[in-house]
Copies of this chain bind each other. A is one copy, B any other.
Amino acid sequence: MNDDTIGIGCDWGTSNLRFYRLGNSGQIIERRQFSAGVSSIKDNKFEAFFTKAIQDWLDNYPNIPVIVSGMAGSRQGWKETSYLPCPANIEKIVNKLTPIKLNYGRTIWIAPGLSYTNYQGLHDVMRGEEVQILGALSIIDRKKKLICLPGSHSKWATVAAGHVLEFHTFITGELFEAIKAGTIIGSMIDPNAWNDDAFIQGIESVGTSKNILNQLFTVRTKGLFNQLTSTTAGAFLSGLLIGYELAGALAGTRFKKIYLIGDGQLTTLYQKALLHKGIEPQVFAPDIIASGHFKIIKIINQDV
């Protein structure tokens, strides 16, 4: 083919599968997306689904690198790859790429996840977000920064000089859903209602009580004392939990700007929460991951 396609990036997460055909300046020439996360692939048929989804690309560009990131490298995924300990950078990630030889002979590469072990020996892990972070690192400067990736498991990564130094996962989103589904607080909430003021009130209420297990009960008492209704309780709870996450993630830091990678309503909430705390959020769309794939592809191509 007479175009400048130099590689293929693939982000195979728990619930989505995304492909990027990348040009020689890193531009996305073509993008494909499937609601076919790792958890939806039965009988280990990863290769069949993968090759069918981009058969034409594989045929048309027989010699370009293909990089797969995300849960495809997990125990429940296509091929388990180990975690690369932090601090980690692009070179270490490239050195840990795991080859998969497809049935018809072509080799593709699965990226490792990252792990971080704190001074007390507790581990944290990510898979996929590290390539999004690599993408963001090609845009932001090399000073120490804090990057947040909102999600049902939010990740907060400290980066500097092209390295991911450490990161922490907060299960805020998943806990919010579990509280809605399974507690007396959840029974107060109209799931279709939202109220921005109540969200901000939730953020502001963080730390006004003994601890979060106690504070969650105040959502209930605010209902009893008519300070929350079914239309405001959900937003208040969301603000309380995201605010509590921010209190943990920002403790001891003095960043005036935080980089967010994400889109949709959840990322908008993190923007609002940060702005309310006087911190400027700068948002990258999730497709920033293609810039991470591009950086990996460039190194591989130079090595050839």
Contacts and interface: CB of A to CB of B under 8 A. Distances in A.
Interface in A246-292: 247-249, 251
Contacts of A302: none
Nearest to A124: B221
Contact of A211 (B120, B183, B209, B248): B248
Interface in A62-119: 75, 118
A197 interface: no
A242 to B, nearest CB: 10
Contacts of A185: 171
A213 B251 contact: no
Interface of A: 75, 118, 120, 122-125, 153, 168-172, 174-175, 177-179, 181-186, 205, 208-214, 216-218, 220-222, 224-225, 241, 244-245, 247-249, 251
A181 B178 contact: yes
A208 B122 contact: yes
A181 B175 CA distance: 11
A153 B185 CA distance: 12
Contacts of A122: 205, 208-209, 218, 221-222
14 contacts: A120-B208, A122-B222, A124-B217, A168-B210, A168-B214, A171-B220, A175-B179, A178-B186, A210-B248, A211-B247, A211-B248, A212-B212, A213-B245, A213-B248
Contact of A124 (B205, B218, B241): B218
Contact of A177 (B182, B205, B213, B214): B182
What 9 pairs across the A-B complex have the smallest Cβ distances?
A: A211-B248, A178-B182, A170-B213, A169-B217, A123-B221, A210-B248, A120-B208, A178-B178, A122-B218
